[in-house]
Copies of this chain bind each other. A is one copy, B any other.
Amino acid sequence: MKNTLPWRPALALAASGLPAAAQTPAAVPGYTYGRKSLAKAPYTLADLASLKKTLLFTEDDERALRQSKAILADQTDAVLDVWYGFVASIPELVYYFGDAKTGKPDGAYLEAVRKRFAVWILDTAEAKYDQAWLDYQYEIGLRHNRLKKNKTDRANSVPQINFRYIPALTIPITTTLKPFLAKKGASTSDVEKMHAAWVKAVLLQSILWSQPYIRDGEF
């Protein structure tokens, strides 16, 4: 896994589909936000409120996230090109999209995840923190964990994404997002506020996504 170049064709393939923004979320396979079939999250809205307080996450952050939505709406594909490029540059990360037997990255799997990732950007910017949102965070966590990874896309990939990378990805995701937040004429101060809100929002989600990895009673 030392040479990252062999991974690149499959990652490029994943970028060659329909622009995600051209699809309505409901048409994205495996996107089940709001579905009644989802399990209820094992954490409550009160737990969420306590976490937001700890994260210094306020209504100002919600406003900043919503400001970012219009800015990002037609840039999700460009953002994903950067994020997939970043993953492609780190063998330890592209590994999680690899075939469990051959190790070769799975183009179809990468593409399926990418479409949901585009919708996720706008959902995060929407900042609507209700029970449906909470239940979908739990679902996303399960899909990273061995409990449910690969099932949504019927992929033959490795059985889990290790916990350690989930909170860690907060940094590259929000660092590489910042230039896109600045591309539509927002003031420097507003870009800083949107970036700070995104860091909190992604870290918050990564904590909720980690729940399936945590020993019973310790979350």
Contact = CB atoms under 8 A, between A and B. Distances in A.
Given A164-B207, A210-B163, A54 B169 contact: yes
Interface in A194-215: 199-200, 203-204, 206-207, 210, 213-215
Contacts of A90: 50, 53-54
A218 B163 contact: yes
A80 to B, nearest CB: 18
A44 interface: no
Contact of A171 (B55, B213, B214): B55
Contacts of A172: 54-56
A51 interface: yes
Copies in the assembly, this chain: 2
Contact of A203 (B47, B51, B160, B170): B170
A129 interface: no
Nearest to A160: B218
A76 to B, nearest CB: 21
Contacts of A218: 145-146, 160, 162-163, 213
A103 interface: no
B219 A164 contact: yes
Question: Which one of A145, A218, A219 has the highest number of Cβ atoms from chain B below 10 Å of its Cβ?
Answer: A218
A19 to B, nearest CB: 27
A175 interface: yes
A162 B9 CA distance: 42
Contacts of A204: 168
B162 A56 contact: no
A36 B219 CA distance: 31
Instruction: In the A-B complex, list the 4 residue pairs whose CB atoms are closest, starting with the nearest.
Output: A50-B92, A54-B168, A55-B171, A213-B218
14 contacts: A51-B168, A54-B90, A55-B168, A55-B171, A55-B172, A56-B175, A160-B218, A162-B219, A163-B210, A164-B207, A167-B210, A168-B207, A213-B218, A214-B214
